Amino acid sequence: MGKLSHLLLSMLPYTSPGSPLPWIAAGLALAAVAGLVLLARARRLERDRALGALDRVADLAGLLIARCDLQGRWTRVPAGLCDLLGREEAGLLGHPIFECLHAEDQEGCRTHCAELLQGNRPSCELEARATRPDGQEAWIQLDGTPVAGRSGQTRYIQVIVRDISEAKAVAQALRDSEEKFRILSEHINCGVFLYTDVFHYINPGMEAITGYAAAELLGQPFWKPVHPDEQELVRQRGMARRRGEPVPDRYVLKILHKDGHTIHTDFIARAVILGGKVYGLGTAFDISDRVKSSEDRLRMERQLLEAQKLESLGLLAGGIAHDFNNLLTVILGNASIIVEEAASHSLTSACATTVVETCQRASGLTRQMLAYSGKGRFRVEPQDLNSVLQGITSLVESSLPKLIELRYELGNGLPGLEADRTQLQQVILNLVTNAAESIGPKAGTTILRTGFQVFEDADLQASFPGQGLAPGPYVFLEVADTGAGMDEATRGRIFEPFFTTKGAGRGLGLAAMQGIVRGHRGGIWIYSVPDRGTTFRVILPALPTPVAVTEGVAVPVDGWQGHGLVLVVEDEASLRSLAALALRRVGFEVVEAADGREGVEMFRRHAHQLRAVLLDLVMPVQGGESALAEMMAVRAEVPVILSSGYEGESQGRGLAGRPFLQKPYTVAELVAKLRGVAPA
């Protein structure tokens, strides 16, 4: 201020010594200086208040406004920046801004500032980590803008600082979440997909389930890989789910694989909101193996129930047939005696002949019941399948209408099989008759094929499931027709006894056929499509080599007379009496026993006089097989004729090859059998 006073005094005109003017001038100068000082101070206060208000507004906006000089040193730092950096104002002013940044971010900040001062960019913006003295870090955003004076030269750099630590943390958390989702979705053992009306995301698991690459599905309708049977259902549920409507979130869904096969999945879907938009989030687990196992288990359970049902019905049928055969034998035997004794043209003879014929038809029904029960096996001998078929060619052809063409395709050099010729022919007749009825009155074709095939266990399980067949060589009989065919429901019931698709009939034909095949340790395969015909294939265990079979010749009994003692062991009193009467009529003496135990006692008593024994196999107290063993221990050379309503009983252990008389039998059949083992 002294220089200013001297300057003002020097500007005054010269005055004489002692003049007051110099003092007046000095006072005015001092007053002017004081005013300028006060004005400058007021302006500084106003500027500080303005900057403080600006700082407060910036704080509210999350911004901190600072300055640095052209050397990059802080020249102004707001209080909020000091708090953010954890430093006092004095510790920042005059210090380079790089000192508060992480070492890895300092070089980037220097480069940006240099480019800004060189005029290579109008402003600079960068993100960096600020380090606090206590070791903590904060992410900040620095926006630097050069500020020029009146001369146009840059005076300083204005720096707007913003704390972005929270935003960075959120972004990092989002990236971590996305990474976790990516890792999870790419390695999880199921399909994961995101969709609206179209697919937006497909994971590798979904690619594996559908067979499509993600690029083939992204942007496509989300129901594209769904099985056509369920596409509309999935489309409607997916759209309703995104609208917030209640629909099932979990169900079994069929996917049609790219190669065409069906995949069963456990499908779960939810509605999710991403970026304010509603998406569907779905997962699909491949449960095809589980579904197949469940179907296999249900099929095995049905087969087991069917087997139990058939076994129960078989036992019932066999029991009924056994008792019925005993009754028929009594009726048939007595009626045949009446026919022999009565005058040939009398009313008595005619009536008795009608009874005999009726009993013979009834015995056919019991044979069907026994066949169904699986006990229809008797007189099992080596057979040639082609010979068995050719033996009933005329009968087969006569059973078909004239409009049906019958073709034979018989294999050459077939190995033999162990079978009963009559029952095997019954199987053929049943199948041919069934084919003719399937074709109906219109023209058609029936083909009979024979052949040989070796089956592995897998083949048997696939084509003959639940039939308990052993792997190995089989001969087969195949009957194919061009008839009406069958649907699945009908195929499932055709072997049920008394089930028939015809207006008339007992429904025992195929059931009996199944019993015969089962009794021969064989299996049945069926292929049938509605309006496209039916094929039955019957397989039977093959012998190692072909066989030659000759037909047996019946022994005539007219006028024949026997002699000696015969033991009749039969629990049915009327049948026992009939047998005794028939044998006495042709010259035999007879002793009777009502059960196996009594039969053994009578055998021991008369062992050396006996010419033969007629032994029923099914009796109370002691069965025929046990009684036979004791008899043979006493005298093995005595011929024993086994008799039963169960045709297969003659094939029991120790019984094969012995004479067998099937009930019901006539007196002539009984006498013929005795003549065969005890000739006069």
What phi and psi values does residue 12 have, to the nearest 5 degrees? -80, 155
- Distance separating alpha carbons of residues 156 and 294, to the nearest angstrom: 81
Can you give the length of the chain in residues?
Answer: 680
The type of residue at 396 is: V
- Looking at residue 613, its pLDDT comes to 94
Cβ contacts of residue 422 below 8 Å, gap of 6+?
Answer: 379
Domains and CATH numbers, the chain: 62-163 (3.30.450.20), 170-286 (3.30.450.20), 295-370 (no CATH), 385-541 (3.30.565.10), 565-677 (3.40.50.2300)
pLDDT tens-digit readout, 134-168:
888 888 888 888 888 777 788 888 888 888 888 88
pLDDT tens-digit readout, 181-207:
777 767 677 888 888 889 988 888 888
Contact at 8 Å (CB) between 478 and 448? yes
pLDDT tens-digit readout, 247-287:
888 888 888 898 888 889 888 888 888 778 888 888 888 88
Output the furthest CA–CA distance in the chain (Å, rounded).
202
Sign (positive or negative) of CA dihedral 345, 350, 356, 360:
positive
> What percent of the chain has a predicted confidence (pLDDT) above 90?
14
Q: What is the CA radius of gyration of the chain?
A: 56
How far separated are the first and last CA of the chain, in Å rounded? 175
638: left (phi over 0), alpha (psi -120 to 50) or beta: beta
Contact at 8 Å (CB) between 73 and 95? yes
Q: Please, where are the H alpha helices in 373-445?
A: 385-390, 393-398, 421-439
Give the model's confidence band at 424: pLDDT under 50 very low, under 70 low, under 90 confident, else very high.
confident
- Distance separating alpha carbons of residues 541 and 470, to the nearest angstrom: 9
Inter-helix orientation angle 421-439/347-372, to 10°: 90
Q: How far is CA 346 from CA 338, 339, 358, in A?
A: 11, 10, 19
- Looking at residue 99, its pLDDT comes to 83
- Distance separating alpha carbons of residues 347 and 353, to the nearest angstrom: 10
Quick check: bond before 664 cis, omega within 30? yes
479: left (phi over 0), alpha (psi -120 to 50) or beta: beta
pLDDT tens-digit readout, 343-375:
666 777 777 777 776 776 666 666 656 655 555
- Looking at residue 598, its pLDDT comes to 94
Contact at 8 Å (CB) between 410 and 449? yes
- Looking at residue 556, its pLDDT comes to 42
pLDDT tens-digit readout, 30-50:
666 566 656 656 555 665 565
Residue 452: Cβ-neighbour burial (10 angstroms; 0-12, 13-18, 19+):
middle
- Distance separating alpha carbons of residues 165 and 167, to the nearest angstrom: 6
- Looking at residue 494, its pLDDT comes to 74
The whole-model pTM stands at: 0.38
Q: Is the pLDDT of residue 504 over 50?
A: no
What phi and psi values does residue 399 have, to the nearest 5 degrees? -85, -5
Cβ contacts of residue 185 below 8 Å, gap of 6+?
Answer: 192, 201, 203, 205
The type of residue at 127 is: E
